Amino acid sequence: MVDWKNPPKLFIPGPVHVLPEVLQQLSRYTLGHRGKEYSQLHKDTVDMLKKILSTEQSVFLSTSSASGVWEGSIRNCIDHNETVLCTMCGAFSDKFAAVARACGRNVEELKVDWGKAVTAEMIDKKLAEGKYSAVTLVHNETSTGVKNPVYEISEMMKKKYPDVLVLVDSVSGMVGMPIEFDKLGWDVVFASVQKAFAIPPGLAVFAVSKRAMEKSKTVTGRGYYFDFQEFAKSAEKDQTPTTPAIPHIMALNYQCHKLLNEGMENVWKRHKQMADFVRSWAKENFALFCEEKYASDTLTTIKNTRGIAVGDVIKAVQAKHNAVFGNGYSKLKDQTFRIAHMGDINMDDLKELLGWIDEEIK
Ligand SMILES: Cc1ncc(COP(=O)(O)O)c(C=O)c1O
């Protein structure tokens, strides 16, 4: 049983550890979502997110987890007779492709082995072969700990395939790693708040380019809940189409102020420092699951080269120290384990955790 007065510290790659002061934001008095106060909260939050994502285009708040925006990005940006190239390098990018198929779109796969990154050259080669209207990318593959080279991919896309829309899942990357939405020329990027924003789950953030908004008007069967046109109509009043998760937006507003006060460059640097620290421990004691140059700054997937009983070590660390780190995801269970270093987790937390793991594996 969880001791609710002293809950475990989470080092899993989402939901992540949430600070008490952020939790407090979730218990403030609620507001009517059609009133002036809500609109002010909404506008302030969206304006800050635009700064965080370096965009002057649309940013929306979705009361859903990020999977909803997986579906929304497909339903709004790809017509039924069009083909999307889905890049696949792990469990979540595989799911993005499955969602595109579930929405009835033609999917062509670009698949690499788990642990490998998807590169600009691979995408270029594939796009040159056929007629695609969009490509899906996962910025940070939470199962394998791979950070795909999205800046290089975007440069290539802008130069060679300027008409192909770029739909990016940055669920575990956003805030922890650079995203300059307008400069990258992306059409959709999204994340849920239980990752590097360090808020409990229940809300997603997404940005949409002007051209994706225009395209969406021409696509039929967009549905309702994730219809970008509905989001845009409500955004004119600084509102959302349906009743939003207001407590989460209060917490997001709080976290955005904190991020901007720190400065995004510093936030990214802080994540990189934590990643470097965990990576060097991982290399000393085990091995990285992916090539180091593609290793994520928000989580590390560690190859279990010593054959430790991962589940037992997780249980022991939780029982003795009230902290939880992650087992490998799906087929990587026990072959790998994962440590998140994002959001409000800090160096001292990580030093403590790695020390506790050391005690169990020595
Ligand atoms: C990369 C990635 N994409 C998508 C998702 C799904 O997000 P959600 O669970 O918020 O719907 C996750 C969840 O962990 C993820 O890590």
Q: In this model, does residue 12 exceed pLDDT 80?
A: yes
197 lines ligand 1 (CB under 6 A): no
Which tokens go with 118?
Answer: 């998807």
What is the distance in A from the centroid of ligand 1 to the CA of 161? 27
What pLDDT does residue 130 have? 83
What pLDDT does residue 261 have? 98
Per the listing, tokens 């690499």 go with 112
Q: Where in the chain is the domain with CATH 3.90.1150.10?
A: 9-17+264-361
The minimum-distance atom of ligand 1 relative to the CA of 13 is 14
What is the distance in A from the centroid of ligand 1 to the CA of 192? 7
Tell me what the mean pLDDT of segment 135-153 comes to: 98
The model carries a pTM of: 0.98
Helix and strand tally (H, E) in the chain? 13, 14
> Any bridge partners for residue 59, and if so which?
207
Tell me whether the omega of the peptide bond preceding residue 244 falls within 30 degrees of 0, making it cis. Answer: no
Q: In this model, does residue 5 exceed pLDDT 90?
A: no
The one-letter amino acid code at 164 reads V
Closest CA to 52 of 242, 240, 202, 207: 207
3-state SS class at 206: strand
Cα distances (angstroms) measured from residue 320 to each of 278, 328, 362: 21, 21, 16
pLDDT in tens, 32-55: 999 999 999 999 999 999 999 999
The minimum-distance atom of ligand 1 relative to the CA of 170 is 1
The one-letter amino acid code at 201 reads P
What pLDDT does residue 298 have? 98
Cα distances (angstroms) measured from residue 296 to each of 117, 130, 278, 288, 310: 11, 31, 11, 11, 21
Residue bearing the CA closest to ligand 1, atom 7 = 66
Per the listing, tokens 């020595």 go with 362
CA-based R_g, the chain, Å: 20
Looking at domain 20-261, which of 3.40.50.2300, 3.30.1360.40, 3.40.640.10, 1.10.10.10 is its CATH number?
Answer: 3.40.640.10
What's the whole-number average pLDDT of the chain? Answer: 97
Instruction: Grade residue 31 by pLDDT with cuts at 50, 70 and 90.
Output: very high
Distance CA 67, CA 204 (A): 9
Q: Where in the chain is the domain with CATH 3.40.640.10?
A: 20-261
Instruction: Grade residue 68 by pLDDT with cuts at 50, 70 and 90.
Output: very high
pLDDT in tens, 271-293: 999 999 999 999 999 999 999 99
What pLDDT does residue 4 have? 86
Residue 328, phi-psi category: left (phi > 0), alpha (psi -120 to 50), beta (remainder): beta
239 lines ligand 1 (CB under 6 A): no
Bridge-based pairing state of the strands 106-111 and 83-88:
parallel
The minimum-distance atom of ligand 1 relative to the CA of 204 is 10
What pLDDT does residue 234 have? 98
Distance CA 32, CA 115 (A): 46
Q: Mutation test of ligand 1: which of 61, 64, 67 has the most ligand atoms closer than 8 Å to its C-beta?
A: 67
Q: Mutation test of ligand 1: which of 172, 188, 225, 248 has the most ligand atoms closer than 8 Å to its C-beta?
A: 172
pLDDT over 90 for what percent of the chain? 97
Q: In this model, does residue 346 exceed pLDDT 90?
A: yes
Tell me what the mean pLDDT of segment 344-355 comes to: 98
Which tokens go with 310?
Answer: 């991962």
What pLDDT does residue 11 have? 98
What is the distance in A from the centroid of ligand 1 to the CA of 189? 13
Distance CA 5, CA 150 (A): 41
14 lines ligand 1 (CB under 6 A): yes
192 lines ligand 1 (CB under 6 A): yes
What pLDDT does residue 1 have? 75
Q: In this model, does residue 212 exceed pLDDT 80?
A: yes
Class of the CATH domain delimited by 9-17+264-361:
alpha beta
E strands within the chain?
9-11, 58-62, 83-88, 106-111, 134-138, 140-141, 146-147, 165-169, 188-192, 204-208, 287-288, 299-303, 323-327, 336-340
pLDDT in tens, 152-169: 999 999 999 999 999 999
pLDDT in tens, 115-135: 999 999 999 999 999 899 999
